[in-house]
Amino acid sequence: MYNYEEIRKLLQDSRSNKDALLAQLATLKTGDQSGSVQQIITLLGDHFGMHNPNPMWLETDLEGVITDANDEICRVSGHTREELIGQKAGILQSSNTEFGKFTDLWNTITAGKAWKSELQNRRKNYESYWVDILIAPVLGADGNPVKYFAISYDISELMHQKEEVEAKNMEMLESIKYAKRIQKMIMPSKREMDDDWDEYFVIYKPKDLVSGDFYWFKSTLSMVFCAVVDCTGHGVPGAFMSLIGNNLLNQIVLQQGITQPGRILSELHKEVRATLKQDEEEEGRTPSRDGMDVSLLVFNKFDNEVMYAGANRPLFWVHDGELEEVKPDKMSIGGEQLEEERIFSTHMLEAVDGDVFYMFSDGIVDQFGGPDQKKFSTKKLKDLIRENHHEKMSIQRAMFNLVWKDWKADGEQIDDVTMIGYRFKER
C-alpha cells in the first residue's frame, strides 16, 4: 500500500486536528517507506507544528487540475467540493499575488521539490484571504511527480495584524523622520559657523535617525560660544533632551547674558533640574535622573581670550605642537544633586595662533571594534590627533572618519558620535 494514501485519507478528514495529525504521522514514520513519502511526512510534520487550526487540503494532477479537496478548504473558500474538482487550482488564486511567485511555485514542484510560502488567495465571493501553504509532489517509482498536493492554513487574521503593525511602524517612522528634520534645524548651520571660524570640522553620526548628541554654536558682538553636548540616552529620548539643552543654552547666553563657561554650565544644571522637576518627589512618580555631559569653549573676539568648562567631557588642546588634556569637572548637568550648589570651573587658556581644540562625545572612544572587539579608547584618539593635528581640518575630518569607520567595521554603532575640531586664529 502506497503510504501517501494514508496521509491523503488523514487530510481529507476535516475533523482532524493538529495533535491527531502529528500522532498519525509519527505512526507512519515507523513503517517502511520510500524516500519521497518520508520527505512528505517530514514536511507535513514541520508544517503542522506551526499551526493550531485544521488544515485545508487539495490534490491536483500534473496539469494543476483539482482532483480532490477536504471540507476545510471548501468552508474557507466558499466553494463546494463539486465546484472545485475538475477546475484548475488557479480558481483559488488572487490577482494580487505577483505572477513571479506562481512561476517559482510551478518550477519547484515540477522539479520534484516541495514549495512553501505565504499566498493571498480568493474566496468564491472574490474576497481575499491569506494562507500559509505547502505544496509538494508525490513521486512515482521513477522519481518523477505523479500528482501534487497542497496543505494550507488560513492566516488572514495574522496578516491583518501584521499589516496593522507595519502601518503603525510606518507612521512612527515618518514621525521620527520629521523629528530628525526639526533636530537638524536647531543645529548650527555651516554658514553660521563659517562667519566666525576659518578652519574647523564637524563629525556628527547619530546612532539612530535622531540623536542624543548635539552641538551648539552662538556668536555675539564680542563672543563666540561652541559646545558639544552628550545627553542621556540616544534615539527619541535623547533627542528630546537635546531640544531642552539647546533651548536652555540659548536662554542662558542670549537672554540672561551669562558668558563665563563655568557659570553657563552651573546655570544649565539648575535649569535642567527645574525643567525635569528633579527635586520634586511625588507618590507614584520617580524623579528623572536624566541629564547631559558638556564640553564648552568661549572665545573673545577682541583679545584672543579662550575659556573652557566641562561637565564630564574633556577638552583636547594642541598647544605649541603638544597635546594637552584639559580635565573637566567630574559632574554631569542635571540628575541627582547631593551638594548644596553645583559649581563648574572655568579654565583660562593662553592660546596662540595655530593651536587646535577638539571637543567630542564619548561615543567616539567607546565604540567597540578592531581585531579584538575592544573600545576605540581615548589613547587611540589622542594618538590620531598627534599624528594629524598639523593637517588641514578637512583632511583631519576625513582621516578621523576613515580610521573610526575601519575600527567599527561591520559592528553595530553603540552610541551617538559627535566631534568638533577648530584651529585657533589670533585676531
- Report which of 186, 315, 292, 309 is spatially closest to residue 229, judged by C-alpha positions: 292
Per-residue pLDDT at 33: 45
Residues 383 and 242 in one domain: yes
Is 32 inside any structural domain? Answer: yes
Q: Which CATH number does the domain housing residue 388 bear?
A: 3.60.40.10
Residues 239 and 377 in one domain: yes
Q: Is 408 helix (H, G, I), strand (E, B) or coil?
A: helix
Average pLDDT over residues 32-47: 54
Cell 496539469: give the residue.
Answer: 63
Residues 192 and 87 in one domain: no
- pLDDT 10s digits, 381-427: 999 999 999 999 999 999 999 999 999 999 999 999 999 999 999 87
- pLDDT 10s digits, 212-248: 999 999 999 999 999 999 998 777 888 889 999 999 9
CA distances from 135 to 38, 110, 174, 376 (A): 15, 11, 39, 52
Long-range contacts of 20-29 (CB under 8 A, 24+ apart): 21/48, 21/55, 22/48, 22/49, 28/3
Residues 117 and 192 in one domain: no
Per-residue pLDDT at 6: 56
Residues 278 and 411 in one domain: yes
Per-residue pLDDT at 67: 93
Check whether 197 has a pLDDT greater than 90: yes
Q: Which CATH number does the domain housing residue 150 bear?
A: 3.30.450.20
Kindly report the average pLDDT of the chain as a whole number.
Answer: 86
Question: Nearest 5 degrees, angle CA 322-CA 324-CA 328?
Answer: 170
Q: Which residues contact 286 (CB under 8 A, 6 or more apart)?
A: none
Confidence of residue 2 (pLDDT cuts 50, 70, 90): very low
Check whether 368 has a pLDDT greater than 90: yes
In the chain, % of residues over pLDDT 70: 86
In the chain, % of residues over pLDDT 90: 55
Check whether 296 has a pLDDT greater than 90: yes
Per-residue pLDDT at 39: 55
Chosen domain end from 108, 136, 154: 154
Per-residue pLDDT at 362: 95
Average pLDDT over residues 33-42: 52
Give the whole-angstrom CA distance, residue 314 versus residue 347: 11
Give the whole-angstrom CA distance, residue 226 versus residue 53: 64
Residues 149 and 16 in one domain: yes
Chosen domain end from 154, 174, 196: 154
Angle between helices 35-48 and 18-29 (to 10 degrees): 160
Amino acid of residue 33:
Q
Is 283 inside any structural domain? Answer: yes
- Report which of 211, 269, 204 is spatially closest to residue 240, judged by C-alpha positions: 211
Confidence of residue 9 (pLDDT cuts 50, 70, 90): low
Amino acid of residue 61:
D
- pLDDT 10s digits, 70-85: 888 999 999 999 999 9
Chosen domain end from 101, 130, 154: 154
Is 162 inside any structural domain? Answer: no
Question: Range of 236's domain?
Answer: 187-423
Q: Which residues contact 6 (CB under 8 A, 6 or more apart)?
A: 24, 28
Is 175 inside any structural domain? Answer: no
User: Which residue did the predictor score with more confidence, 143 or 86?
Assistant: 86
What are the start-end ranges of the E strands in 38-195? Answer: 56-60, 66-69, 115-122, 128-139, 145-154
Is 360 inside any structural domain? Answer: yes
- pLDDT 10s digits, 257-286: 999 999 999 999 999 999 988 887 765 566
- Report which of 65, 59, 34 is spatially closest to residue 142, judged by C-alpha positions: 34
Give the whole-angstrom CA distance, residue 401 versus residue 398: 5
H helix or E strand, kind and range, residue 22: helix 18-29
**Rounded to an integer, what is the distance from CA 388 to the centroid of its chain?**
33
C-alpha grid cell for residue 206? 547619530
Confidence of residue 104 (pLDDT cuts 50, 70, 90): very high
Residues 136 and 213 in one domain: no
Confidence of residue 30 (pLDDT cuts 50, 70, 90): very low
Per-residue pLDDT at 29: 46
pTM attached to this predicted model: 0.69
Residues 253 and 377 in one domain: yes
C-alpha grid cell for residue 169? 511602524
Is 58 inside any structural domain? Answer: yes
Average pLDDT over residues 346-361: 96
Is 161 inside any structural domain? Answer: no
Check whether 44 has a pLDDT greater than 90: no
Residues 113 and 226 in one domain: no
> In 10 A of CB 308, how many CB atoms?
22
Residues 204 and 69 in one domain: no
Residues 223 and 361 in one domain: yes
Report how many domains make up the chain: 2
Residues 123 and 257 in one domain: no
Is 402 inside any structural domain? Answer: yes
